[in-house]
Amino acid sequence: MITKSPLLLLLPLLIGTFASFNAWADLSIADYENKSKTQSTNTYLLGLSSGLNTANKALVNNKQVPLYCFPPYLKLSISDYREIIATGINEIADNPIKPNVDDILLKKLRKLYPCGYN
């Protein structure tokens, strides 16, 4: 019987962790503007919007206050989310510390689609 070193067993996990490190990163405004027309940015924004919408639905299902309240039957497209983010970027005060795109989108969704108790 051949025994494997514990390090060899952890190697695939370590490679996967470091290879997908960018998946855990926030999208800065500079990165968004530099890569605004790339497929990877579109994919990031679709994942971000899907995650926010899923979290929002979970709050509603648990009878908690939602983050924002879309009108019935509203379906936003990637271009809608881009427009919301662009508006949010334009509204940021001239401050050296800039929020990331994730924070901008959530803040704008809360402002555009209030629930009445946010």
pLDDT in tens, 43-81: 999 999 999 999 999 999 999 999 999 998 999 999 999
Count of structural domains within the chain: 1
Residue 79 in domain: yes
Residue 66 in domain: yes
Domain containing 104 equals 26-112
What pLDDT, on the 0 to 100 scale, is given for residue 26? Answer: 81
Mean of the per-residue pLDDT values of the chain: 81
Mean pLDDT of the region 21-35:
72
- 45-64 as b/e: b if 16+ CB within 10 A: beebbeebeeebeeeeeeee
pTM of the model: 0.74
Residue 68 in domain: yes
Residue 107 in domain: yes
DSSP secondary structure code for residue 92 in this structure: S
* CA atoms of 23 and 20, how far apart (whole Å): 5
